[in-house]
Structure 1
Amino acid sequence: MHLYGATVAEAARGVGQETFIAAAEHRFKQVFGQAPSEEEVRSWRRSWPALTKILCSAGLETLHLLLEYSLPATGERVDALLLGRDAEGRLCAVAIELKQWTRAQLSPVRPGMVRIAERVVQHPARQVGGYVHYLQQWVNRDDFPLTARGTVVLHDAPADLVTDLRAPAARGPAAAYPILGRDDLTPQPSPHALAQRLGCAELSPASAEDIERFLQVEHRPSPSLLERAGEVIEGRDAFTLIGEQDRARQEVLHAVDVARERGKKSIVVVTGGPGTGKTVIACRLLGDLCNQPHANPRLLSPSGTLTRQLRRTVGDDFRGLLSTFTDKMPSGITDDSVVLLDEAHRARTYPDHQQGSFPLILGKLLQRAAVTVLFLDERQIVRPTEGLTLTQLQQHAQHARFGFAHIDLVSQFRCNGSRAYQQWADDLYQPGGTAPLWEGSDYDLDIAANPEQLEQWVADHIRHGQTARVTAGFCWPWDSPSTPPLKPEVAITWNGPDGPATWARPWNSRADEPAFEHPDVPARPFWATDTGGHDQVGCIYTAQGMEYTYNAVIMGADLVRRGDEWIAHPEESHDGQLRRLPPHRYLTYALNTYRVLATRGTRGTRIYSTDPATQAFLHALISPHAR
């Protein structure tokens, strides 16, 4: 998909006209389903005329130009793509990253990132390198040979900025992509020299048939990409399966074989509580599928945090194979695809995405793929806009006449392998009934007397080289800016031996990238794993799907214990969507939330409630034997 396609000469005649921009805005809505931002439209007005002028000055008028070309498997768009034939007669695509920068801030601590005004963005050479890698790995193949190149065009940039940007690029893989500033983009000493700097000197026009074939080609991972992904996953001990995890893997691979042999679509559901290894199995299966011939697998998750953690683990080169599943149908899924949907309980089910009682987008995904494997824990549904159940999936498979299989995981591989602790947490966070006493000895569980004690416990483990984090229910405001300094908004006052005492800490950062001036404050996706995360309080949305060695949980006033039942107070929540729910509906999400938070620690957990009666109740559950 793209906004505009024609020869450079044709584009040059139109890009400066307001009717051209208006048509691009209209097509953007049609192609991408939403209106472009005002900032994006302003950049079109400034950059498109500048680019076509440069290309014409280089004598490249007859090459084909695509503006805002989409890379479906990643959701990214190339500012401009030039198509022509190289000296060997192969179709060549030159990705061009356009910037209007006149100044930028670089940091030796983060050479891959650049700060522009208030935004931190990827270095443009790395950005265009990612586009080239995608074209090589998702479009180029034996039946459609394509070469790919990349160039950064900073048409307003002075020489000193270009020099600064070239320095970090020269030390890494981005060295292959030229960075051209204002002084480099003139036809000096000749148009041919400019074309050489742009990486287009020997390109000749491609035929209409070439262009059409390029636009219609199916984007799917190349065998070499799949082979490398499979090797990376196979080589990681973190994805080794044990016991029933491997049994689940074998069941899924059997279902895949049956579906391919008989041509019948299948749904496989793998259920299990926190720490039973659902994500590990999903990654292991991705590696297996990458090693199968004619594979077209995907590993999806509704959680952007989990997706980014997995990309970091296996490498960002495989980002098209690992994607966040939200409210759009992933591209490139075909009737030979196997889709692994981790954390399926978090799949969005907004009313406008429903078809009857089943989510519309998810239904389309199940209909298109050969086999869909969903990893599910119904008790991790924490919002009314999420939620998918085993029964729903079973009924959908029956209605669609799909094959269906269900594997339930029981063994606990987090929480020190303690089934006793997992069962205790499961039973504790039930709506009512007699709460269980903790009498286990295979997991470090206790109730903290106050938040300072929680923090000291966490700090002690950090000093000994362990990962430890504090999380809390969403019972405090969250008005901090997206970049540090963060406000200490999680503030708790209690009566200590010397009178009232107050403890306050900030929530985790809301930014997806760490701030330039505060590299010690992790970005949201990496709060659970990166240095400095223990200084902020994590919430359900940053903790879910993650784990760390020691786990401190603060229960707020939204969930309190009275007698033999839990009482919900949605008005105490600062989650704008949840606090409007009636108490009986909010109760389910609150119980699920605290169950998730209480099961992040692999070796130990401390719990503290801001409600004195609930604190006393929790304290009474920890038997003298466990202390």
Structure 2
Amino acid sequence: MLAFQTTPAQIVALHDDERLDDELAAYLTASGYKVNGPERRSWRNSLPALARHLCALGYGDLDALVEYQLPRSSRRIDVILAGAEPLTMRATYLVVELKQWSEASRYDDDGSVLRVNYLEQPQLHPALQVQAYCAYLVDYVEKVREWPNAVHGMAYLHNAKRDHIPDLLRERSYQSMVWTPDKAEQFPVYLERKFHRVRHPQAAYRLLTSPIRQSRQLLSLAADEVTNRALFPLLDEQRAAYELVLRGVRWAEEGRGKRVVIISGGPGSGKSAIGLNLLAELAREERQIAHATGSRAFTRTLQQYARRQPADPAQRTRPLFSYFMDFMDATPDKLDVLICDEAHRIRARSTKGSRQGSKPQVQELIEAAKVPVFLLDDNQVVRPDEVGSVDTITEAAGQLDLEVDRIELGAQFRCGGSPRYERWVLHLLGLARAAPYRWKGDERFRLALVDSPEEMETILRGCQDRGESARISAGFCWPWTHRAQNGRLVPDVRIESWARPWNAYDDYPPKGIPTSAYWATDPRGFGQIGCIYTAQGFEYDWSGVIIGKDLVVRDGRFVSDPRKSCDPAIVNGEGRVIARNADRLIRNTYKVLLTRGLRGTLLFADDPETQAFLSQLIPAPHRPGRLIAPGVRRIDAVRADRPAGSHTGTPATPSERSDTGSMPARSGAADGELDER
């Protein structure tokens, strides 16, 4: 994984030379992150405080991994100290979260969420924050999973006193320690038990080069999550949002008023993971709960996975997983919690058959539960009748005289946790102010342009055959024959001699073909082309995206042509554009499709001029039929084995790796292989 590898002694030297924040900023910029002023100030204030403390206690030569990026996530840990246990000389690690806070106050009753004066959003207690980082490391990093007790966690608050930071009213452990200056006498004792002063030559290397556990697809574990907890470790804002909902439940139970919780974030920021963790906890507490979406595919898939578990049927079928329209006649506050996932798909009014709701759908959902929770992304609206947004929900809550708790999620857990790829997509589609630019490569996520849909299918079939999920989706630019003919789906998506069918339309597809609701999760979905309505809300390891002629490049920029769309929500039967915001809906559609992949995306454009433009921005696979990942030289062997005292402070940055997007080959790799070393 990525990290700026140095030592406490070197941190002090860089700070004294006034080079610390410049070195770290250069490293993060090369890794695809944007660095702001507050982040630089944090490095200057907090890192030297920790480093000088360690040097004074004789631990200046420990390996320090600064800004360590968590696997499969854009979230970073401030510092991981790597060394050896004094008696066994076994590798051991201390995860350190640095805070400049001088004081904080409780935002909820047990201190899980705190209010910090100069920060707008409620903040997760740093003890819970660092504990979650430790759990995440143990969960994903294979070398750490072998010895989980080697991972400890500490929040280091160098400006605070013990009484100025609320204590947690829950069990504490070595993964949730909090240090303040008035606890100074405890730190030397802890370090003597945890670390040998002599540097361990392999501890940092083992962590940085460890194999990473395969990405887990959210919905494939949904049933287990409802019956077993902690399958999805929640980090930072995710955990803060989770705790705010639990606080709302407690407050409602105590008669302290009803609150609306809004959790917003982009694709892969963990919104659905929060919802499922809440579902698990609230089901365990035997609360009256429901989970609702506006997506037939998403809801049906949750129902399918839940029914696989032999637990209480009342919490395994339709009463638990519902649709937004199902609350048209709901008794006010009958539910303790209503989790509204994909809330950007809220409609103006509920419609069931010939009936239409008498009030806005968002009001129905708010009134249905004591604690209504909305999980959404304002930039994923893809139909003209979808009105869900942060502003819409906030306004509806205000009209009902209800207070709102809002958390905005900033991390990225899809697309390899690559902020570089997420930003590149926004620029490519014209959803950011600046123009598109060439993809520079990122070891966390693979992107390539293929010459044909045949090549895309060949590469992705190789992934699918190895047990890695892969799907091809496309813009809604081809007609859709809804009924099978002669026992087969009709191959409506045609590009020259290549033709494939859309995913099944109804609940009774030909034998061997999943229904549309399960296209993204059933392995038999490979071979059909997914549309926006079956792909949205889902994820798979490898994604192929075909850009149709509704979004083409002319004069060096993308322009939409809604007349080329076959989506009945955008164009009617006479070919007339009926959606007022068609341009934004089309761009949002491709943003969703391009952010489904966990590990990589292949791209092809049906329009020749668009394909030529993309060829200037995106590298091709190394050779036809193969997409090979960039080599990962996380940290070279010379540095790993260097003698104590020879630290240079130089990070293992992308400049030391293959960061050109050229995707070099590996000897012995089979055709069609996407390889990750």
**TM bracket (short chain):** 0.5 to 0.7
Q: Provide closer, same or farther for how the CA distance between residues 536 and 259 of structure 1 changes in structure 2, counting only shifts above 3 A.
A: same
Offset at residue 230 of structure 1 (A):
10
Deviation at 1:352, TM superposition (A): 8.1
Q: 1:463 aligns with which of 462, 465, 482?
A: 465
Alignment of 1:135-150 (within 5 A): none
Deviations 1:118-151 (A, max 9, x none): xxxxxxxxxxxxxxxxxxxxxxxxxxxxxxxxxx
Matches of 1:368 and 1:346, distance apart in 2: 18
How has the CA–CA distance of structure 1 residues 291 and 327 changed in structure 2, closer, same or farther, with 3 Å as cutoff? closer
Cα deviation digits, residues 93-113 of structure 1 (max 9, x gap): xxxxxxxxxxxxxxxxxxxxx
- Aligned 8 A contact 1:230 1:291 in 2: no
The equivalent of 2:129 in structure 1 is none
Larger Rg: 1
Per the alignment, residue 438 of structure 1 pairs with 439
Preserved CA contact (<8 Å) 1:230 1:290? no
| 8 A Cα contact 2:570 2:577, kept in partner | yes
Please tell me the residue identity of whatever aligns with 2:262: V
Matches for 1:546-565 after TM superposition, within 5 Å: 546-563=538-555, 565=557
What amino acid is aligned across from residue 478 of structure 1 in structure 2? W
How far the C-alpha of 1:617 sits from its partner, in A, is 1.8
Deviation of the 1:604 alpha carbon: 0.6
Q: Does 1:625 align with 2:660?
A: yes
1:531 and 2:534 are equivalent in the alignment = no
Q: How many residues align?
A: 384
Pick from 506, 513, 534 the counterpart of residue 521 of structure 1: 513
Do the aligned partners of 1:296 and 1:333 also contact (CA within 8 Å) in 2? no
Q: What is the deviation of 1:313?
A: 2.5
1:566 Cα deviation after fit: 2.5
Shift of 1:539: 0.4
* Residues 1:584 and 1:437: Cα distance change in structure 2 (over 3 Å): farther
Q: Deviations over 1:536-576 (max 9, x none)?
A: 00100111111111000000000112235421111111112
Alignment of 1:406-421 (within 5 A): 406-421=406-421
Percent identity between matched residues is 36
Aligned AA for 1:607?
L
Aligned to 1:36: none
CA separation in 2, counterparts of 1:310 and 1:601?
Answer: 20
Q: How far has the Cα of 1:255 moved from its partner?
A: 2.8
How much is the aligned-residue C-alpha RMSD, in angstroms? 2.7
- The structure-2 alpha-carbon separation of the partners of 1:388 and 1:564, relative to structure 1 and needing over 3 Å to count, comes to farther
Per the alignment, residue 609 of structure 2 pairs with 613
1:576 aligns with 2:571: no
Q: Which amino acid aligns with 1:427?
A: H
Secondary structure, in 3 states, of the residue corresponding to 1:326?
helix
Q: For residue 500 of structure 2, what is the amino acid of its counterpart? A: R
Structure 2 letter corresponding to 1:435: P
Cα deviation digits, residues 385-414 of structure 1 (max 9, x gap)? 112111121122222210101111111111
Letter in 1 for 2:660: H
Partner residue, 2:503: 508
Q: Secondary structure at the match of 2:541?
A: strand
Pairs within 5 Å for 1:26-425: 233-235=226-228, 238-292=231-285, 295-315=287-307, 317=313, 318-319=316-317, 320-326=319-325, 329=328, 331=330, 334-335=333-334, 337-350=336-349, 360-425=360-425
Shift of 1:531: 2.4
Give deviations 1:565-623, integer Å, cap 9, x for gaps. 42111111111230243787211000000000001110010111111121122221226
Q: Secondary structure at the match of 1:267?
A: strand
Helix, strand or coil: the match of 2:477? coil
Q: Distance in 2 between matches of 1:330 and 1:544?
A: 28
Instruction: Give a deviation string over 1:42-72, Cα, whole Å, max 9, x none.
Output: xxxxxxxxxxxxxxxxxxxxxxxxxxxxxxx
8 Å Cα contact 1:482-1:511 kept in structure 2: no
- Cα shift readout 1:478-528 (whole Å, capped 9, x = no counterpart): 0141584111110012xxxxxxxx21000011122554xx1x211111111
Structure 1 runs, 4 residues or longer, greater than 4 Å off = 229-232, 330-333, 350-353
Cα contact 1:433–1:565 (8 A) shared by 2: no
Task: Calculate the TM-score normalised by the size of structure 2.
Answer: 0.53
Are 1:378 and 1:387, in contact at CA under 8 Å, matched by a contact in 2?
Answer: no
Gaps of at least 5 residues in structure 1 are 1-228, 494-501
| Aligned partner (choices 583, 588, 595) of residue 592 of structure 1 | 588
Q: Which moved more, 1:435-444 or 1:232-241?
A: 232-241
Distance 1:600 1:231 in 2: 22
Q: Where does residue 566 of structure 1 map in the other structure?
A: 558
Change (3 A) 1:269 1:509: same
Distance 2:224 2:468 in 1: 29
**Residues 344 and 389, structure 2, Cα contact 8 Å, conserved in 1:** yes
Structure 1 residues 332 and 395: alpha-carbon distance in aligned structure 2, compared to 1, 3 A threshold: closer
User: In structure 1, what is the Cα distance between the partners aligned to 2:417 and 2:322?
Assistant: 30
The 8 Å contact of residues 509 and 521 in structure 1, kept in 2 or not, is answered as yes
| CA distance, structure 2, for counterparts of residue 563 and residue 238 of structure 1 | 48
